């Protein structure tokens, strides 16, 4: 986790993952198969298949290890350019896909991988991982810390309560050489597996005429040796690679190996696999699935002469035109379209597939939005520049037109009319403003008059202060009650702060009372 606490990493991954889904389209991961003679890339996207390949000159990769790093990086850069070529001026301006990193599942040659089956009881996931790691330490072929290792489920037996795992080891230095070269060439390795795993996936998904419910034996004839794979319910269960070097006689250390040299090797190794098959599942091998170049009829004949099982050439239902060299890249491309959270398959590199994908997705997200923001700013800058130029030209044209009018014989008359119009408009605006500020007193007097009439009030005085919006009203009433009722009607009529102190109610000699009321409009 690159030193981060587990909980902190998971929290950040969850939050940023949600943000990525909202703002960043999901990136399809390609499959990259690397052999001694070629590097091939395949990608499934939107129901279509995209592929490219480059030939690697002899000596760049030998026996599955990088021997000439500079030439290897050069070949990978060429492959990158072929896969996402520059197509427009935007590409060369820095917004090109060809400058972005390509996430890939990498498949390496199987000859440097050590595999072995081990089993554990069916346990909770936390304890299961601990038990699997202990088993991996016990079956490690060499210095445990010098290898990348991982495991995946190969078979499960609910009756016996056991799970069988396929464990795999590969030298760290060899893997790191590939990973660093890929990064330099513009690729992001999400996971590293070996070709036997990828081929098993291709067989499971695309093979024709193979009963995957039964254990099947696959023999791949390659340029560096023979690779045996045993599938159990479509999953890789057993893997065994033998180099052609074992076919050399003691007195023939160098030079090409003839068919006579390898006959004994093929027969001997097939017998070993047959013994393993019989011990594990009982009985003899009935079918042998052969992956070999079309130019290898001698091998097929040799096997038929020495063994009784049926030989089947591996055929793919959708990619029958593909040569066997593409099978590994096809398998890794299939893994690339799996949801990252479900990818619990073997990965022989420093970090797990889900974590590595999260890290690469964050970087791709940042780069994408950096380019979007840069492009947006560039567009806005261009827009405002041209808008400014257009406005400046428009103003200049209007100024020139005005000067032309004033220089004409009737120009002075036009200017005088224009000034008169402007003066009239200013006066009209002042009149309208004065009208807005004028108070319409009709509703005010009408309201007071009707209320006074209703309560038998004779109004004797009305004083208004428009600045303070205040008024003083004097009048006569038949009695105290009438004056007070009149005061209350003013309150009900919407006047504010209506006041009638008792000291302002004065009795007259004729039996009436005089009063004074203050209020605000």
- CA dist., res. 110 & res. 500, Å (int): 107
CA distance 475 to 456: 10
Mean pLDDT of 51-77: 95
| Higher local confidence (pLDDT), 423 or 115 | 115
Residue 147: band (very low, low, confident or very high) from pLDDT cuts 50, 70, 90: very high
pLDDT, average across residues 383-410: 76
H helix count then E strand count, the chain: 13, 20
Note the pLDDT tens digit of each residue in 352-393: 444 555 555 555 556 666 667 777 888 888 888 888 888 888
Say whether domain 23-110+170-208+319-390 belongs to CATH 3.30.420.40: yes
pTM for the structure as a whole: 0.64
- pLDDT at position 502 is 82
User: Residue 186 phi/psi, 5° resolution?
Assistant: 100, 20
Q: What whole-number percentage of the chain has pLDDT above 70?
A: 81
Say which CATH topology domain 442-520 has: Gyrase A; domain 2 (3.30.1360)
Domains in the chain: boundaries: 23-110+170-208+319-390, 210-314, 442-520
Q: Please give the full DSSP string across 65-132, using - where no structure is assigned.
A: EES-HHHHHHHHHHHHHHHS---SHHIIIII-GGGS-EEEEEEE-GGG-EEEEEEEE---HHHHHHHH
CATH assignment of 210-314, given 1.10.760.10, 3.50.40.10, 3.30.420.40, 2.40.37.10? 3.30.420.40
**Which is it for strands 496-499 and 506-507: parallel, antiparallel or unpaired?**
unpaired
Q: For residue range 253-289, what is the model confidence (pLDDT) as tens digits?
A: 555 677 777 888 999 999 999 999 999 998 889 999 9
Which range among 93-102, 273-282, 493-502 shows the weakest confidence by mean pLDDT?
93-102
Cα distance between residue 26 and residue 11, in whole Å: 20
Q: Do domains 23-110+170-208+319-390 and 442-520 have the same CATH topology?
A: no
Residue 255, pLDDT score: 57
Q: Return all residues near 177 (Cβ < 8 A) that are at least 6 apart.
A: 65, 66, 69
Position 332 confidence tier, pLDDT thresholds 50, 70, 90: very high
């Amino acid at each position: 986790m690159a030193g981060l606490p587990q909980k902190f990493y998971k929290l950040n991954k969850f939050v940023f993952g949600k943000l990525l889904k909202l703002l960043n389209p999901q990136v399809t991961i390609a499959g990259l198969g690397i052999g001694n003679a070629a590097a091939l890339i395949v990608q499934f996207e939107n129901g279509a298949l995209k592929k490219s390949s480059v030939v690697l000159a002899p000596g760049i990769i030998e026996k599955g290890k990088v021997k000439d790093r500079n030439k290897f990086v050069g070949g990978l850069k060429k492959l990158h350019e072929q896969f996402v070529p520059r197509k427009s001026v935007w590409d060369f301006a820095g917004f090109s896909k060809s400058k972005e990193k390509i996430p890939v599942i990498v498949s390496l040659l199987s000859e440097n991988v050590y595999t072995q089956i081990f089993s554990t009881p069916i346990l909770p996931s936390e304890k299961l991982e601990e038990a699997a790691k202990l088993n991996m330490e016990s079956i490690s072929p060499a210095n445990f810390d010098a290898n990348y290792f991982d495991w995946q489920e190969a078979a499960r037996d609910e009756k016996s309560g056991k799970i069988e795992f396929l464990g795999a080891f590969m030298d760290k230095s060899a893997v790191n050489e590939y990973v660093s070269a890929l990064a330099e060439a513009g690729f992001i390795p999400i996971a590293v597996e070996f070709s036997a795993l990828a081929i098993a996936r291709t067989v499971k998904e695309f093979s024709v005429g193979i009963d995957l419910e039964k254990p099947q034996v696959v023999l791949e004839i390659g340029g560096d040796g023979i690779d045996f794979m045993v599938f159990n319910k479509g999953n890789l269960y057993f893997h065994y690679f033998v180099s052609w070097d074992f076919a050399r006689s003691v007195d023939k250390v160098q030079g090409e190996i003839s068919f006579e040299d390898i006959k004994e090797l093929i027969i001997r190794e097939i017998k070993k696999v047959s013994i393993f098959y019989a011990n594990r599942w009982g009985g003899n091998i009935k079918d042998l699935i052969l992956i070999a170049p079309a130019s290898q009829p001698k091998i097929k004949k040799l096997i038929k002469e020495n063994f009784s099982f049926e030989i089947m050439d591996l055929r793919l239902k959708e990619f029958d035109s593909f040569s066997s060299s593409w099978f590994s890249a096809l398998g890794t491309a299939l893994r690339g379209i799996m949801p990252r959270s479900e990818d619990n398959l073997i990965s022989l590199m420093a970090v797990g597939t889900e974590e590595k994908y999260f890290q690469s997705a964050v970087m791709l997200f940042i780069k994408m939005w950096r380019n979007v923001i840069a492009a947006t700013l560039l567009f806005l800058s261009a827009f405002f520049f041209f808008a400014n130029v257009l406005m400046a030209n428009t103003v200049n044209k209007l100024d020139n037109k005005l000067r032309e009018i004033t220089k004409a014989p009737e120009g002075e008359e036009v200017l005088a009319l224009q000034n008169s119009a402007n003066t009239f408009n200013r006066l009209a605006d002042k009149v309208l403003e004065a009208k807005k500020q004028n108070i319409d007193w009709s509703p005010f007097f009408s309201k007071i008059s009707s209320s006074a009439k209703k309560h038998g009030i004779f109004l004797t005085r009305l004083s208004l202060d428009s600045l303070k919006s205040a008024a003083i009203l004097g009048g006569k009433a038949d009695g105290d009650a009438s004056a007070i009722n009149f005061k209350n009607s003013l309150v009900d009529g919407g006047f504010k702060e209506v006041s009638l102190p008792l000291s302002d109610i004065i009795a007259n000699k004729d039996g009436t009372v005089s009063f004074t009321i203050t209020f605000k409009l």
